[in-house]
Amino acid sequence: MTKTALGAKIRELREKKKYTLEKLADLAGSSKSYIWELENKAPPRPSADKLSKIAHHLGVTIEYLIDEEASITVEDATDAKFYRKYQQMDYKTKAKIRSMVDLWDEDDDG
């Protein structure tokens, strides 16, 4: 059995979220056997659509999952996912988030 960096990352993130194979499969619209295969084998070309859904439910980016050199940290991937979501928000929601961040900065100064 050939394990991959992709498989190790999926398993590690899935276990951190306390998801079973079945739970992640259900969330990502996939099958339990497909998730198992990603974690434990080296499928020739995993579906970008399925990897995108898996990444979304694991709270990271697809780039993080497929990064074989481990040049992207899970923290970077989580931040990138948040920023992509932030970019799609309306102006009022963005303003509220910026206000909250400003309040945290004020607390840190004091």
CA–CA distances in Å: residue 67 to residues 2, 7, 77, 105: 17, 11, 11, 33
pLDDT digits (tens, 9 = 90+) for 19-57: 999 999 999 999 999 999 999 987 667 888 999 999 999
15 vs 94: CA distance, rounded Å: 32
* Domain membership of residue 63 as a residue range: 5-109
Cα 21 → chain centroid: 16
Report the predicted TM-score, pTM, of the whole model to 2 decimal places: 0.67
Q: At 107, is the pLDDT very low, low, confident or very high (cuts 50, 70, 90)?
A: low
Give the CATH number for residue 45.
1.10.260.40
Q: Please state the domain count of the chain.
A: 1
Helices (H), 1-110: 5-16, 21-28, 32-40, 48-58, 62-66, 74-87, 91-109
In tens, the pLDDT along 54-92 reads 999 999 988 889 887 777 777 887 787 888 888 888 989
